[in-house]
Amino acid sequence: MPKPGSDSRELLRRLRATLAEDNEGQERLDHITQIVAQGMGTEVCSIYLRRDAQTLELCATEGLKKESVHQTRMRFGEGLVGRIAKEARAINAENANREKGFRYMPETGEERYSSLLGVPIQRLGEILGVLVVQNKQPRFYSDDEVYALEIVAMVIAEMKELGAFVGEGDAMSAPHQRPFLFNGTTGQEGVAEGVIVLHDPQIVVSNPVTDDPEAEKARLQDAMNQLRISVDDLLGANIKVGDEEHRDVLEAYRMFANSKGWVSRLESSIDSGLAAEVAVEKEQSATRARMARVPDPYLRDRLHDLDDLSNRLLRLLTGQGRHSSDKLPENPILVARNIGPGELLEYGKKLKGIVLEEGSVGSHAAIIARAWAIPMVIHATNITREALNGDAILVDGDQGLAHLRPDDSVTNAFRDKIAMVSEAREKFAAIREEPAETLDGVTISLMMNAGLMLDLPSLEGSGAEGVGLFRTELQFLMRSAVPRRNELAETYSRVMDAAAGKPVVFRTLDIGSDKVLPFWKPQDEPNPAMGWRAIRLGLDKPGLMKMQIQALLRGAKGRPLRVMFPFIAQFNEFRDARALFFNVVESEKRLGHTMPSEIKIGAMLETPSLAFAPDRFFELCDFISIGGNDLKQFFYAADRENERVRRRYDTLNVSFLTFIGQIAERCKSFDTPLSFCGEDAGRPLEALCLAAMGLRSLSMRPASVGPVKDMIRRHNLNEVRAVIDAAFASGEQSVRPALMAYLEKTDA
């Protein structure tokens, strides 16, 4: 067995020499199993490579029966080899057949061998295969032997990545060449074709083995020093009062960058013959495997920090870096594990599409993508491992799909879809200045939802009549400290300037639930969506709300002001919030500030309870806006963020539509203006039904205004209502099928 150090280096040198041989992938792989068996002093060495997402295939062996090569396969988790792949960790067994999960593969003849040592072949946390050695004699392999085999597996992984084992069959296909379909979730609708820009490009290592460990360690030291300086710089530049979270991350970076354990593990790998970058990758694979196993979110975050730091170190070592945003290729599609709003803003509107492995619909990045109408797919698991810079990709934001390296038939079908979308866009542009008036003469006011300054230009382009919902918390979510009152007043003023006289409805802070302010210690609540959020928090801690009201009053600079409170569940909450508002008005007057020429105070109806509030509520409220996203989740008791239950209940369900109709009736009887600002308002069919149930104002994403207006202008509201009523009477659960049939007939 090789000892770490010179023996191991000799073994790695012999492995590397196979790269220079003029061999096919299969011969090279066979040769490697011989070299490893000989170098490690074992009777068997086998290499299993990944054939597809879930299967491994025996691709070469020294010692087992040759007939079993490319015949023996196992699923991840199956047998000891499958377990090594699934759990991404070594198995060291004195008597393999007594080990839990052992599966006998008669075709290999392995029953003669008692002891087994297997390690994952992995690169940056991705399992590429499994490397196994076996002996007849029952024995445990020493820690040095396990380590040596892991080092060998690293070199095999790098060789695989370099395309050294290309041959017949899926297990030996060339890396990064096959088409892949990623089935994710819609972050922003729309379709785009382009080339991939990886936010963290794949590092290419052409020589995974070093001949001169001392020089390699000096190179590592150098990169480490640069890393420490850059982390210190970041710490110096970023620490502001209240910036605790950011400081935490950077302190964690600094801790890792100075961690002796980390550095000494890297140096041992180099002593064993690995190039510095492969040594970093080896540690990174271990971190990623641990990340997948750690249930504690805090620890997982710290492991993420270490992973980010390793990426920085790799970039320093290889000189391979990120794209600078002014050197993007044509039609760039950004692919990343996740991205923060600041980084996304740096790329700017030049991006044609975005695909993320993580992310969420409510994330800041998604909000920006929506504001810019950049098609976006989230939850595209593992795409950053498979994709290379410059690969072709099709992004289908409507369906939440990303086609990586698509074949021609997929590309052609996709181009037809893009053509249809741009045709539709022209059609919507043509009716931009027209009213949203139904065939029977009912006019619906179409407004847009916004939350950032950069949303405002869409007001002009979309044809919306104003901003029906301005989510003020986004200004807070994007910062690491509480914004100052003057700064906020200035922002609100600029929002009103940009709206150029069109109405803007500002919603006071809706924080809590999934919207956790970076500078606010999150509350540990069992059920945050039903917890201490929005107006509940505002009334219990009025300081922040008062400050925001002052900023709104000052920002209006004498213009009319519309404000609504989120998540009002009962009348007294509205009454108290309204009273607090007018107290602030009085004190602002006393301070001599100019007051808005008109003030309208509304409430968001987001819990069913408010629909049954006392009459006085409807009399006192200047307007009501239905927050359909929340209302629906509480009406059906179905978490809006839980994909499993969210889609189960239809907006066009008879119960929900009946409820909406009742709210509309009640508001009408008090002459209280009513609008709807949940996501459903932006879906043409849903919007048409809401109008038929009595809604006269809808607020939606800017990109939805055109399609909704088109739908409304082409239909007769009385007829639609008659279809809905007939469906109600029929005993069906949802009016959707009846409406679809009606639309098919009328649109024909």
Which residues would be at the binding site for ligand PEP (CB under 6 A)?
469, 471, 510, 606, 627-630, 677-678
Q: Which does 315 bind (CB under 5 to 8 A by kind): ligand PEP, Mg ion, none?
A: none
Residue 614 CB, shortest distance to ligand PEP, in Å, is 23
Closer CB to ligand PEP, 105 or 626, in the complex: 626
Closer CB to ligand PEP, 210 or 651, in the complex: 651
2 binds Mg ion (CB under 5 A): no
- Count of positions (residues) in the chain: 748
Helix or strand holding residue 376 (H, E): strand 376-378
Residue 531 CB, shortest distance to ligand PEP, in Å, is 14
In this structure, what is the dihedral angle of CA atoms 348, 350, 356, 361, given to the nearest 10 degrees?
Answer: 60
Residue 376 CB, shortest distance to ligand PEP, in Å, is 17
Closer CB to ligand PEP, 380 or 631, in the complex: 631
Closer CB to ligand PEP, 78 or 514, in the complex: 514
Residue 515 CB, shortest distance to ligand PEP, in Å, is 8
Residue 494 CB, shortest distance to ligand PEP, in Å, is 22
Q: Which does 628 bind (CB under 5 to 8 A by kind): ligand PEP, Mg ion, none?
A: ligand PEP
Closer CB to ligand PEP, 357 or 606, in the complex: 606
DSSP assignments along 72-93, one per residue? -EEETTSHHHHHHHHHTS-EEE
406 binds Mg ion (CB under 5 A): no
Q: At what angle do helices 260-271 and 276-293 cross, to 10 degrees?
A: 130
Q: Which does 678 bind (CB under 5 to 8 A by kind): Mg ion, ligand PEP, none?
A: ligand PEP
Residue 510 CB, shortest distance to Mg ion, in Å, is 6
332 binds Mg ion (CB under 5 A): no
Q: Which of 307, 292, 282 is nearest to 76 (CA)?
A: 292
Rounded to the nearest angstrom, the gap between the alpha carbon of residue 31 and the centroid of all alpha carbons in its chain is 43
Output 51-54 pairs: Cβ under 8 A, ≥24 positions apart. Answer: 51/169, 51/170, 51/171, 52/170
Q: Which does 88 bind (CB under 5 to 8 A by kind): Mg ion, ligand PEP, none?
A: none
Residue 196 CB, shortest distance to ligand PEP, in Å, is 31
- The DSSP code for 4 is T
Q: Which does 190 bind (CB under 5 to 8 A by kind): ligand PEP, Mg ion, none?
A: none
- String marking each residue 609-638 x if it binds Mg ion according to CB under 5 A: ------------------x--x--------
For residue 679, give the 3-state DSSP assignment.
Answer: helix
Residue 562 CB, shortest distance to ligand PEP, in Å, is 15
- Beta strands of 37-114 (E only): which ranges? 44-50, 55-62, 73-75, 91-93
CA 715/CA 181 separation, integer angstroms = 38
Closer CB to ligand PEP, 15 or 447, in the complex: 447
Residue 361 CB, shortest distance to Mg ion, in Å, is 13
The tokens for 648 are 């189960």
CA 500/CA 622 separation, integer angstroms = 22
Q: Which does 150 bind (CB under 5 to 8 A by kind): ligand PEP, Mg ion, none?
A: none
* Cross-sheet strand order for the sheet of 392-396: 180-183, 401-404, 392-396, 191-198, 332-336, 353-356, 376-378, 185-188
Residue 624 CB, shortest distance to ligand PEP, in Å, is 13
CA 435/CA 447 separation, integer angstroms = 12
Q: Which does 471 bind (CB under 5 to 8 A by kind): ligand PEP, Mg ion, none?
A: ligand PEP
Closer CB to Mg ion, 403 or 507, in the complex: 507
Q: Which does 365 bind (CB under 5 to 8 A by kind): Mg ion, ligand PEP, none?
A: none
In this structure, what is the dihedral angle of CA atoms 564, 474, 446, 573, given to the nearest 10 degrees?
Answer: -20
Closer CB to Mg ion, 305 or 630, in the complex: 630
Residue 510 CB, shortest distance to ligand PEP, in Å, is 6
Residue 682 CB, shortest distance to Mg ion, in Å, is 15
Beta strand 599-605 with 561-568: parallel, antiparallel or unpaired? parallel
Closer CB to Mg ion, 147 or 567, in the complex: 567
Closer CB to Mg ion, 428 or 565, in the complex: 565
Closer CB to Mg ion, 82 or 512, in the complex: 512
Closer CB to ligand PEP, 512 or 661, in the complex: 512
Phi, psi torsion values for 724, nearest 5 degrees: -65, -45
Residue 72 CB, shortest distance to ligand PEP, in Å, is 53
Number of residues that bind Mg ion (CB under 5 A): 3
Question: Do residues 709 and 436 lie in contact, with contact meaning Cβ atoms separated by under 8 Å?
Answer: yes
Q: Which does 545 bind (CB under 5 to 8 A by kind): ligand PEP, Mg ion, none?
A: none
CA 544/CA 562 separation, integer angstroms = 19
DSSP assignments along 324-369, one per residue? PGGG--SSEEEEES---HHHHHHHGGG-SEEEESS--TTSHHHHHH
Q: Which of 362, 573, 593, 352 is nearest to 485 (CA)?
A: 593
Closer CB to ligand PEP, 114 or 472, in the complex: 472
Rounded to the nearest angstrom, the gap between the alpha carbon of residue 384 and the centroid of all alpha carbons in its chain is 12
Helix or strand holding residue 449 (H, E): strand 445-450
- The one-letter code for the residue type at 686 is E
Q: Which does 455 bind (CB under 5 to 8 A by kind): ligand PEP, Mg ion, none?
A: none
Near Mg ion in 484-503, by CB under 5 A: none
CA 510/CA 476 separation, integer angstroms = 10
Near Mg ion in 547-606, by CB under 5 A: 606
The tokens for 689 are 């039904």
Binding site for Mg ion (CB under 5 A): 606, 627, 630
